[in-house]
Amino acid sequence: MKLTWRIWILVLALAFASISVLNLPVMYNTLVGLLIISILVTLSYSKSKKLTIILLVLTGLIILAILFFGFQKGVVITSVPGDSVSFTEGLRKGMIITSINGNSISNIEDYSKIISLVAFENKTKMEIQTTQTKLVFLTNESLRITVSNIPRTNLQTGLDLSGGARAIVKPANVTLSSSEMADLIAVMSNRLNTFGISDVNVRSVSDLSGNSYILVEVAGITTDDLKELVGQQGKFEAKIGNDTVFVGGERDITSVCRNDATCAGIDSCQPDSSGTGGYFCNFKFSIYLSDSAAKRQAEATKTLPLDPANPKYLSKKLDLVLDDKLVDSLYIGADLKGSITTQVQISGSGSGTTQEDAYNAAKDSMHKLQTILITGSLPYKLEIVKLDSASPVLGKEFTKNIIYLGLIVFLIVSIMIFLKYRRLKITLSVILTMFAEALITLGIAALIKWNLDAPSIAGLIAGIGTGVDDQIVIIDESVSEETSSLKDKIKRALFIIVGAFFVTIFAMLPLFWAGAGLLRGFALTTILGVSVGILITRPAFADILKKLQE
């Protein structure tokens, strides 16, 4: 039995989909694709059942060997804070670490064990081997990177499955053009990346009324954390009296000290004198002003008298204001009166019930203030329209249940098809087509790096259901007792299917904008599924039926 060109397209699409879905090295991906093609070709042309059985057994053993031994060893970096030594030395999100200081790493357990043995004191030598390059540097701080095991597939999951927080925000009391919205998204992405947050997605969405919003999705954090990140404008001002002398951002600030212990760090920690039993820690770091900002500061201090109570300082302080709230007030030395100086020391504090909590709070506050000084304030104040979260535990449970449900649906559909037509070959053809359609759709999703969330999975199931309906239409037409030829019967069935395809496409298009884009996953995967069906699996299934009739 020779394969028709439509069946060959299905074979090649299956090979392509398997390569896209499996996260294997190129050699193994190529082998998987060739195996799928060789299986189908041999099953089609071979008249020897023994040869076919031997090929299937050998193929199964090879695939098992690939799955259990062929996956790449190491851990993948999921986030690197922009102010860390790791980032400065070249570590980036997405890199795969295979060894540290000569110790091989196979998984995250190996990584944790090796890192726990490293004493980050004085200048510790770090020799990190990745799949891309080898990095050697000296550091006295921990790597400050987040890693995870290398995923076994290229499929990316959304917050519904991986866990995290999501917010829909919009600029308050202002309507932005498309270019202004793009600038705002760029600033937000830059700030979140500077914070060192992993798996962040910031994009523009709109609803059916034409209103524009910004969708922010961040894995692994709570809604409170996300609200704090996106709900504040981050407007930083340094004032002397009512005069603003400089603001956050590159216009006024040329550099911020972050990784040098000589100009940035926690200054002191001590018990809280208010009697609450807690602790507070002070932090200090230096910033460097532009010439214009330094001149404004000199102009603002030129006429200030000395403080009568403390003549070493001027009568007014440098007030640090963040989002219209006073963060700290710094004394201005008398020698700085009317002086143009480009270096300013910023200070602040953090508190906690224990000294360790206070230290971490001060460190976090310093980090956020440094980030705002670097990136500047958001150009518009944001209003949170919707805020929700998903648990990673519930996401894993949901994924497992979806897999079980999919297997049950496959089984039920197969049984019903067999009971209706009483022909095993037709039943197996329907099962093959369902599997092929799902795999090819997932392969396209992996290729375009589309995040699979709950709506996307629902769209995948809807696409498979539509495919089964279409196959039943083709079968019913082909086995009907009409006197017309089989070719005409299948042509009539495909005409009905094409009509249903366009109806589905037009029905899905509005869902791209409904709910501010939250249903986009359902619409896209449904369109992908029915498009794969109309272009690949439906014509191939019709040719398979022709071969069975022959």
CA distance 452 to 462: 14
203 and 245: one domain?
no
Is residue 511 assigned to a domain? yes
3-state secondary structure 133-159: CEEEEEECCCCCCEEEECCCECCEECH
514 and 403: one domain?
yes
**Is the pLDDT at 483 greater than 80, yes or no?**
no
314 and 371: one domain?
yes
Is residue 494 assigned to a domain? yes
Query: Considering the entire predicted model, what is its pTM?
Result: 0.60
- The two tokens of residue 162 are 């991986």
Chain segment 225-244, per-residue pLDDT in tens: 677 667 666 677 888 888 88
- The CATH code of the domain that includes 539 is 1.20.1640.10
Q: Three-state DSSP class for 1?
A: coil
Is residue 45 assigned to a domain? no
Q: Print burial letters for 440-461: b (CB count within 10 Å at least 16), e (below 16).
A: bbbbbbbeeebbbbbbbbbbbb
Is residue 189 assigned to a domain? yes
CA distance 39 to 53: 10
275 and 398: one domain?
no
DSSP state for residue 208 in the 8-state scheme: T
Is residue 297 assigned to a domain? yes
462 and 402: one domain?
yes
Chain segment 4-44, per-residue pLDDT in tens: 777 777 777 877 787 777 776 666 666 666 666 666 666 55
Q: What is the DSSP string of 38-70?
A: HHHHHHHH---HHHHHHHHHHHHHHHHHHHHH-
Sign of CA dihedral 80, 83, 85, 89: positive
Residue 484 class from Cβ within 10 Å (0-12 exposed, 13-18 middle, 19+ buried)?
exposed
Pick from 25-39, 81-95, 209-223, 271-285: least confident: 25-39
Is residue 12 assigned to a domain? no
Answer for the pair 370, 287: CB distance below 8 angstroms, yes or no. Answer: no
Pick from 39-53, 278-292, 464-478: least confident: 39-53
Neighbouring CB atoms inside 10 A of 313's CB total: 19
For the chain, the helix, strand and coil percentages under 3-state DSSP, each to the nearest 5: 50, 25, 25
**Is the pLDDT at 77 greater than 80, yes or no?**
yes
Is residue 227 assigned to a domain? yes
DSSP state for residue 151 in the 8-state scheme: P
Place of tokens 């039920």: 412
Work out the average pLDDT over 342-369.
Answer: 82
Task: Indicate the residue type of 359.
Answer: Y
Answer for the pair 91, 128: CB distance below 8 angstroms, yes or no. Answer: yes
User: Would you place residue 172 in the very low, low, confident or very high pLDDT band (cuts 50, 70, 90)?
Assistant: confident
H or E element, residue 337: none
CA distance 370 to 441: 44
Place of tokens 């890693």: 147
Domains in the chain: how many in total? Answer: 4
H or E element, residue 473: helix 454-478
CA distance 526 to 59: 32
Residue 485 class from Cβ within 10 Å (0-12 exposed, 13-18 middle, 19+ buried)?
exposed
| Residue 417: domain span | 392-549
Task: Indicate the residue type of 93.
Answer: K
425 and 510: one domain?
yes
